Amino acid sequence: MKLTTAGESHGKALVAIIEGLPAHLPVREEEIDAWLALRQGGYGRGARQKIETDTVQILSGVRGGFTLGSPVCLAVENKDYANWERYMAPQEADLSARRVTCLRPGHADLAGALKFRQSDARNILERASARETAVRVAAGAVARGLLRELGVEVRGYVRSAAGVSDEKEYTFRELEGVKRSPLFMPDEALCRQAMAAIDAAKADKDTAGGVAEIRVQGLKSGFGSCMTYGEKLDGALAGALMSIQAVKGVEIGLGFAAARLRGSAAHDEIFYEQERGFYRKTNRAGGVEGGMSNGEELVLRVAMKPIPTLMRGLASVDLGSMQPARAATERSDVCAVCALEVIAESVVCFVLAQKVLERLGADTMQEVKERYEKLP
């Protein structure tokens, strides 16, 4: 299964093409729209989320609510394009207006302008923008439906926002309904503290980052491989999560904490009972050993840096004059860690669906389910 996305932040639309989905997978626009709405929510989001409500259009590959086995094309219209058509039109665009030459530290502006030989960073930032993740969330919602057919469920929450961290360990069940929280944080007191910290950053015309934790329950063992590095499940998950805009770190299981422990405290001892088979009493590996799922719950954490578009602008250089300047400002979020959590869930769903189909290889959902049920 393969995903390709296209589109600019202020262009006509964002598009995703999913190849390799089996036939007869249920796909519901309203479910995709619900995840798109979650991506736009959360405390600390910017003004753009109030301008447009994202909804999906299924352009191909689905008929009567079920996949056909052909490529599925999803589109999310940029309703703000009406205000940007003059500057972003594919043909008669005004290239002299809305230029960005005061480069933003932490963004793709400088490296992208040099790489693609652009004198206007607008031609870089429009694609580098996290707006692109809208269609990755749409594609992830489709993949989530495939996993659900197999009894695999994905949940997540915000573990840290604006420097306020929740160090409690929650069960999968305790995370149900967490997205009703303004910051997707289970602890109400910590949520209020984090909201206050975000308010303080906003008052200073600054931004804040955070950490999201993603959990997966119900995935059987053996997905991924230890035989080649390209087939490793943790490699695929980490790579996909690191591809999310503004992400600077990924942990699986104990993550970096494992490096500070002795082996006796870092690994999960193995037990066996005839009725339940092999099992572990701990899950420090986060559900992955040797590049393969081991049947335990997957536990992943993803760290997001503060958004690089600050309303007060950092010291920078003007790309045209090469003189000192203040970085450009655009309408932006103060803290988008809730969006990160939704995007990370979606990315994990897609990678897991890919790994399932790689191993089971089937043309229809019925075949996928039958083959999955036969696995130990």
Supply the pLDDT for residue 336.
95
Residue 97 burial (CB count, 10 A): 9
Task: Say how far apart CA 298 and CA 288 lie, in whole Å.
Answer: 7
Phi, then psi, of 149 in degrees rounded to 5: -60, -25
User: Taking 60 as the threshold, does the pLDDT of residue 49 lie above it?
Assistant: no
Phi, then psi, of 93 in degrees rounded to 5: -95, 145
Distances (CA, A) of 56 to 51, 53, 72: 16, 10, 12
- pLDDT tens sequence across 366-376: 999 999 999 99
Q: How confident is the model at residue 182 (pLDDT cuts 50, 70, 90)?
A: very high
Q: How confident is the model at residue 26 (pLDDT cuts 50, 70, 90)?
A: very high
In this prediction, residues 118-131 reach a mean pLDDT of 96
Q: How confident is the model at residue 48 (pLDDT cuts 50, 70, 90)?
A: low
In this prediction, residues 67-79 reach a mean pLDDT of 97
Supply the pLDDT for residue 51.
63
Q: What stretch of H or E contains 217? A: strand 210-217
> Looking at residue 122, which CATH number applies to its domain?
3.60.150.10
Model pTM score: 0.95
Mean pLDDT of all residues belonging to the chain: 95
Full domain range(s) for residue 216: 2-374
Phi, then psi, of 66 in degrees rounded to 5: -135, 145
Cβ-contact 41, 49 below 8 angstroms: yes
pLDDT > 90: percent of the chain:
93
Number of domains in the chain: 1
Supply the pLDDT for residue 310.
86
- pLDDT tens sequence across 319-368: 999 999 999 886 678 999 999 999 999 999 999 999 999 999 999 999 99
The one-letter amino acid code at 143 reads A
Checking 167-174 for CB contacts under 8 A at 24+ apart, the result is 172/215, 172/217, 172/297
Phi, then psi, of 135 in degrees rounded to 5: -80, -20
Supply the pLDDT for residue 135.
98
Query: CA torsion angle for 169, 172, 173, 177 (degrees, to 10)?
Result: 90
- pLDDT tens sequence across 232-268: 999 999 999 999 999 999 999 999 999 999 999 999 9
In this prediction, residues 298-314 reach a mean pLDDT of 93
In this prediction, residues 165-189 reach a mean pLDDT of 96
Closest listed residue to residue 44, CA positions, set 263, 253, 307, 344: 307
Supply the pLDDT for residue 1.
95
